Structure 1
Amino acid sequence: MCKKEISVRGSEADAETRCRHYHSERDRIAIKFYCCGEYYSCHSCHEELADHEAEVWPAGKFDENAVLCGACRNELTVHDYLSCHSICPSCSAQFNPGCSLHKHLYFEVH
């Protein structure tokens, strides 16, 4: 499968979007930040590299692509990502289930 060419910004980011902050085998997603439309490996990378404050995805925009699988480069909507049970629906790569602890940093959740 040919990987899409989508740029991901990150501190020491590898080919599957892992960065120096999150680099386990299953840390293979990037988030498109709502504020700038740029993919970053994680919230800490955005904080270090962007020249602005992060904004979370509003609940009314959860049908837009906002998450990138680092394994196959498939883009997921926020809804798809939040309901995928930490497995890419396109290639079945496992995502880190611990990322759900940080979803409030990326998405408007209650």
Structure 2
Amino acid sequence: MIFGRTVDDQTRCIHYHTQEDVIAIKFKCCRRYYPCHLCHEEADHRAQTWPRNEWSEPAVLCGVCKGEMSIHTYLATSSCPNCGARFNERCAAHTHLYFQTT
């Protein structure tokens, strides 16, 4: 289940809804999938980032095929390894909001 204000069945939300905005991220704090950090901000708790030692955890969902991938896999690619759907490369600017980068 995807939480947040989605606008279609491929995880696009009211904040990010281009053709390539097709992932949802499982937040460490609540173990719930949200399409973006802004959708999670609307939840009733503070976000926690995934520490590097947990990047093998399946925490990224492709909205096209619904396949889960690890954080390592997601950060190493620009498309879904299962179905080939392209991901929005501009999401890299928000990596620090989801995953510990230092």
Question: Under a length normalisation based on structure 1, what TM-score does the superposition of the two structures give?
Answer: 0.90
Partner residue of 1:37 out of 31, 34, 38 = 31
Equivalent in the alignment of 2:63: 70
Separation of aligned partners in 1, 2:7 and 2:90: 19
Q: Contact 1:12/1:20 (CA < 8 Å) preserved in 2? A: yes
Separation of aligned partners in 2, 1:68 and 1:15: 12
Give how far 1:14 is off. 1.4
1:89 paired to 2:81: yes
Q: Contact 1:31/1:39 (CA < 8 Å) preserved in 2? A: yes
Equivalent in the alignment of 1:11: 5
Which residue identity is paired with 1:98? Answer: R
Give how far 1:53 is off. 0.1
Give how far 1:51 is off. 1.1
- The root-mean-square deviation of aligned C-alpha atoms, in Å, is 0.8
Which sections of structure 2, spanning at least 5 residues, go unmatched? none
Equivalent in the alignment of 2:44: 51
Q: What is the number of residues matched between the two proteins? A: 102
Separation of aligned partners in 2, 1:89 and 1:82: 12
Question: Under a length normalisation based on structure 2, what TM-score does the superposition of the two structures give?
Answer: 0.97
Deviations, residues 34-88 of structure 1 (Å, cap 9, x unaligned): 000000010000001x21100000111000011000000010100000001x110
List, as ranges, runs of 4+ consecutive aligned residues in structure 1 with deviation greater than 3 Å.
none
Q: Percent identity?
A: 53
